[in-house]
Structure 1
Amino acid sequence: MTFSIVAFDKDANEVGFAISSCCWNAGSVCSAEAGKGVITHQAQGITKFHPIFFEQLKEKKDLEDILDHFRIIDDHIESRQIGFVSFEKGTSLAFTGKNCSFWAGHKTGENYACQGNILVGPEVINAMTHAFECTEGNLIDKLYAALYAGEGAGGDARGKQSARLLVKSVSDNAKDDNIVIVDFNIIDHEDPINEIGRLLTVRQNYREIAAMNKKFEQVQTAKERKAILVEILNFMKDKKESRYMSTWTNLGYAFYSMDCIDEAVYCYKTVFEISPTMVKTIKEAAKSVGVPDSVMKKIMEK
């Protein structure tokens, strides 16, 4: 009833997982610790094995030895499906118990373990591993590509309800060795994997806006600053949604401050298009900074 992939990226010092299922909150069966490893304990999985796994890693145990330890302490291991990776040792391992419901299986690669049960067939795992291996980009990109490919190949035979994608990294600060790069946990949704994809797109948009804003702050000449504002404006023209409200208001004020009135008017009209109830707020803000009535008249024109 679940398909997942756990993985690491040595070069980026990142670990992570992606998982989807027809069950509520599938992401709870996975755990990751930066610089250490990742585990998924699924099928009839039990999360109490997560801390045992990380304790065994701390003791420098090989994954094969950890699986042997699980066999000893778990009378029902043949009903479990486990995938894990060791960041420090650079290894991966997966296990599918003989009592896991059809179709169940797994595949491992140099830096990942991919597994699933109650799937439409082995094509799900094959599609996931192919996507992970062939996708260019960072660990987030590769994990999402694998998840999306698994769904495209048929995914969970019973349907879909939840999904999660998490990536962690080691911090330069010794006090915080688990920096969460991304954690999108969709616990109940009609299309959970595409919802993660949507959130990743929004996240990337925010990152690109932030990068352009930073560039704007670093340049000195008016010509350079205006060019960057125009670049931001062009990037934003298809993003007329409330989640980008602060970008539109800030952009409008930046254009106004540079005496680019037409561009400022366009930005503020976009603000009102997104949310007409912002009119009063903008009017009060304009008064406080001394925006001329002539400019406000242009902004308020229908």
Structure 2
Amino acid sequence: MTFSLVGRSPDGSALGVAVASKFLAAGAYVPAAAADAGALATQAHVNLELKTRGLAMLREGVAAGELLQRFFDADPDRAERQAGVVDRDGRAATFTGERAQHWAGGRTGEGPEGSFAAQGNLLAGPGVVDAMVDAWLASAAEPDLARRLVAALAAGQDAGGDPRGKQAAAVLVVSAGGGYGGLGDVVVDLRSDDHPEPIGELTRMLDLHDLYFGSTPAEQLLAHTPELDGELVRRLAATGYASGDLGRDLYDWMGRENFEERWHDDRIDPVVLEHLRRTTG
């Protein structure tokens, strides 16, 4: 009923999970990740304890494969479980109990494209997992881990996915200090809980996430000039910000529009300028 890919970026700076399922709000149950531990997916007959105790074990330095062995050896319902793990050091492991509904299985890899654990149960066939792996390996040059993970989901869906249909999808990515304002580790945490095209909805939300929380390279930021500042004053006034202090007006407008992560004291982000132009005509 579920297919997922747990992955680590090639440089080891980010870890994440993407999942899709004909199961309401699968993102609330399947994925877990911590920048100082690793990332994992628990599925089939979900054991939620893996999300807490498993991350704690990873944080203590237990390797991915050892974690799954120790955890499921002590689980009386292990025959119905499925899980995938990538630890903080890039070691990957997957587990499929013998009573997980057919087709069920998984693959792992620890190459230069970034470590991964791909798995699924109640799938159209092994081609679903193979397609996810192929997409993962082919996207190594993509720096955005969330995009790689969602692209792998899309490939799995195109290969047949869950034969019962579509309902939910989610993506979770963590990186030390990479969260909002640099004050947390959660880079992306998006869920499509009940949608006819949940993976497509995730892609749409990732586009919005990039718009609001993305980063423009420093060399592409725009310097203040009399001409640009004059345009900013006019356009900001059209939105109701006309205090006479351009810096304050721009800062306040950007906060209203949820662009605070794109604020720079002495430069203008061209993404912000384009949004201002588009919204003021």
Alignment TM-score, normalising by the size of structure 1:
0.69
- Please show how residues 81-230 of structure 1 align to structure 2 within 5 Å: 81-87=82-88, 89-110=89-110, 111-135=115-139, 136-137=141-142, 138-171=144-177, 178-206=184-212, 215-216=221-222, 219-223=223-227
Gaps of 5+ in 1: 230-244, 248-263, 271-302
Q: Write the letter of the residue equivalent to 2:98.
A: K
Give the total of aligned pairs: 232
Where relative contact order (Cα < 8 A, 6+ residues apart) is larger, the structure is 2
Please state how far the C-alpha of 1:23 moved relative to its aligned partner.
0.4
* 1:35 partner letter: D
Which structure's residues are more often helix, by fraction? 1
Deviations 1:190-213 (A, max 9, x none): 11100001111222334579779x
For residues 123-155 of structure 1, the C-alpha deviation after alignment (integer angstroms, 9 at most, x for no partner) is 111111111111131211211110111111111
Structure 2 unaligned spans of 5+: 234-255, 259-275
1:31 aligned residue: 32
Distance change >3 Å, CA 228–CA 106, structure 1 → 2: farther
Q: Per-residue CA shift, 1:166-213, capped at 9, x if unaligned? A: 11111289xx8842111111111111100001111222334579779x
Q: TM-score, normalised by structure 2?
A: 0.73
C-alpha RMSD of the superposition: 3.1
Indicate how the Cα distance of structure 1 residues 118 and 55 shifts in structure 2: closer, same or farther if over 3 A, else same.
same
Structure 1 residues 157-166 or 62-71, which shifts more?
A: 62-71
* One-letter identity of the residue aligned with 1:80: R
Q: Give the distance between the partners of 2:278 and 2:177, measured in 1 at CA.
A: 42
Offset at residue 34 of structure 1 (A): 1.0
Percent identity of paired positions between Structure 1 and Structure 2: 34
Decide which structure has the larger Cα Rg and report it: 1
